Amino acid sequence: MFHLPLPVFDANTNSGPGGLGDLPEWDLTDLYQSEDDPKLARDLEWLEQECAAFAADYESKLADLDAEGLLTCVHRNEAISAIAGRIMSFAGLRYYQMTIDAGRAKFLSDAQEKITNFTTPLVFFTLELNRIDDAHLDAMLDANADLGRYRAVFDRIRAMKPFQLSDEMEKFLHDLGVVGDAWEKLFDETIAGMGFEVDGEPLGIEGTLNLLTDHDRAKRESAARELGRVFQTNIKTFARVHNTQTKEKEVMDRWRGMPTAQTGRHLSNDVEPEVVEALRNAVVEAYPRLSHRYYALKAKWLGLNRMQVWDRNAPLPMDAPKTVGWDEARAIVTEAYEGFDPRMADLAEPFFTKGWIDAGVKPGKAPGAFAHPTVTDVHPYVMLNYLGKPRDVMTLAHELGHGVHQRLAAGQGEMLSSTPLTLAETASVFGEMLTFRKMLEKAKTQQERKVLLAGKVEDMIITVVRQIAFYDFECKLHAARRLGELTPDDINDIWMSVQGESLGPVFDFMDGYETFWAYIPHFVHSPFYVYAYAFGDGLVNALYAVYEEQPEGFQEKYFDMLKAGGSKHHKELLAPFGLDASDPAFWDKGLGMIESMIDELEAMEG
């Protein structure tokens, strides 16, 4: 089934709040002019005809193809993916701009249903590929260099071989996928439609979450309690979505014979379970040295004996409230990118000038941030909810990193450009690191350096500790759902079981915080995605250490890695840097960088 190429939320041309300047909005005309664009109608017609022709030409015949014939088949499959991806990107991006608009929601649903129907006859493709004898397929890949380019794709397809069902069952599941998508839409629309009120001011979820970083502790508390109140009001809906999604996954996994709920994600990430387990264990073991230690330090700075959940993201008392206008944010990130390599800044420039970013906060817009790759013959689009916080500058650097990566990988074509999630966070987190280092370099005082260091440590804890806690929550949630229906209280208990462990003994948890699992989109849109953030952060910390130790020639190796997209395994991509993610000590190196920053912050207290 063809889905909208996945934008995972990390998270209008008008002046933003607080005079942020003119915030850009998307120009989607590079995809289609409008819903009524004749080109869109022609593409839908072509897609329907080409899917039928593809099935007529190749079904039950893949095993008889020679290398040249299989290459032609692959190229035709890529062309179908490109048109289907273009249509779904257009429909999806319009929807994310205004998720409460019934017309946009209908257009997306109708497009998804049509493309599902058109592509159902193509289900045979991967099934029949997996019936070709491995030795015969390897011989064809070795004999034809153009076909051999696709080896990584064939390897990932063949990894699913043990979990493949009958052709009829696979077609049934393909058709049924659109029903699962309806639960995702229900989640999105519920989140976007929720109204909050803090100190008499009506807000959406983004504006309310933003208040958790306010300097005024009373305002932070009001926002946290209002979030808990509204989540509780909607908790039955969120529990139903999670129960249904996790049960659907359990049924799929059971029929496929997958040993764990996480197996499918590991396969799609092209990463070994033991590598993820080594990452998870290294992070959990480091909780006392990282989050527990840092938050104890932060409590001291805030003059608190105990921290509440609304203090976790509180600004530091020595950090004066600051709003960063859009032009300044652009200049900061551009300078950081350019300082690493001018090509990075050149690749980022069109996002600002050609309508590739939608930055403003507006009612009904999806929360968070993402970079959407669309298709390889167009370009990515970045979505932000920019409120002018210093952290929003880092989010811009992060999403532009994704955009640069996606632009560089586009040369691989539709089937090879998509990077496994574990590596998809590399360029984004590296972009953040470059921006942070540039800002640190410009710090004029010890206090300014302290604020920057503390901010970076907090971001890393969110990226590593918080995401691994999320991963543990999901593991426990899916395991519990296999034993039966979960009440909202059951899910609340699972959430709280990982929160205290990850945040540390300095925290108290208000009544209502137990519902805060409800708004995390990853759990619904992309189960077990979250460990990719920790993977990416650890990987980038190790990469940056290599860059500092041996800067000569690093840029070329880095660009080669990004250009590779999904054409190589993580071992092959990291080898030129002398790194190996399958070595458990690798993760300690990345975590050690966070630890050293906390060391420096503690030393400043001395």
Query: Domain map of the chain by residue range?
Result: 21-191, 196-233
Q: Is 552's pLDDT higher than 70?
A: yes
How much is the pTM? 0.82
Whole-number pLDDT of residue 564: 96
For the domain made up of 21-191, give the CATH fold: Butyryl-CoA Dehydrogenase, subunit A; domain 3 (1.20.140)
| Partners of residue 198 on adjacent β-strands | 201
Q: 518: closest CA among 484, 456, 554, 473?
A: 473
**pLDDT for 448:** 86
Instruction: Please determine, for residue 90, whether its predicted confidence score (pLDDT) is greater than 60.
Output: yes
pLDDT reported for residue 368: 85
Q: What is the average pLDDT across 153-166?
A: 89
**What does the angle CA 126 – CA 564 – CA 468 come to, to the nearest 5 degrees?**
80
Please report the pLDDT score of residue 5 as a whole number.
Answer: 44
Instruction: Measure the CA–CA gap between 31 and 509, rounded to whole angstroms.
Output: 46
Give me the pLDDT at residue 17, please: 52
Reported as a pLDDT band with limits 50, 70 and 90, residue 583 is confident
What is residue 169's predicted lDDT score, i.e. its pLDDT? 87
Reply yes or no on whether the pLDDT at 97 is more than 70: yes
Q: DSSP label at 27? A: -
pLDDT given for residue 176 in this prediction: 77
Res. 3 pLDDT band, cuts 50 70 90: very low
Q: Check pLDDT > 90 for residue 177.
A: no
pLDDT of residue 6: 47
Q: Write the burial class of residue 42 (CB in 10 Å: 0-12 exposed, 13-18 middle, 19+ buried).
A: exposed
The residues facing 15 across adjacent strands are 22
pLDDT over threshold 90, residue 483 = yes
Beta bridge partners of 357: 382
Mean per-residue pLDDT, 207-217: 92
Question: What SS3 state is found at 24?
Answer: coil
Higher pLDDT, 569 or 10: 569
Question: What percent of the chain lies above the pLDDT cut of 90?
Answer: 74
Res 4 pLDDT > 50? no
Question: In 234-325, where does DSSP find H-type helix?
Answer: 235-256, 263-268, 273-286, 291-302
What is the structure's pLDDT at 479?
97
Q: Which two tokens stand for residue 445?
A: 């005082």
Helix 167-193 to helix 102-119 angle (10° resolution) is 170
Q: Report d(CA 277, CA 566) in Å as an integer.
A: 22
Q: How confident is the model at residue 18 (pLDDT cuts 50, 70, 90)?
A: low
Report pLDDT for 14: 35
**What is the C-alpha separation between 89 and 97, in angstroms, rounded?**
12
Q: What is the percent of the chain with per-residue pLDDT over 70, rounded to a whole number?
A: 97
Q: Whole-angstrom Cα distance, residue 538 to residue 532?
A: 10
Segment 100-126 shows an average pLDDT of: 93
Q: Give residue-wise pLDDT tens across range 338-396.
A: 999 999 999 999 999 999 999 999 988 988 899 999 999 999 999 999 999 888 999 99
- More confident call, 424 vs 28: 28
Rounded Cα–Cα distance for residues 13 and 25 (Å): 6
pLDDT for 235-274, tens place per residue? 999 999 999 999 999 999 999 999 999 999 999 888 899 9
pLDDT at 601: 93
Mean pLDDT of the chain: 91
Query: Would the pLDDT of 178 be above 80?
Result: no
**pLDDT digits over 561-574, tens only?**
999 999 998 889 99
Q: Report how far apart, in Å, the C-alpha atoms of 556 and of each of 433, 566, 604 are.
A: 18, 18, 37
Q: Is 136 buried (19+), middle (13-18) or exposed (0-12) by CB count in 10 A?
A: exposed
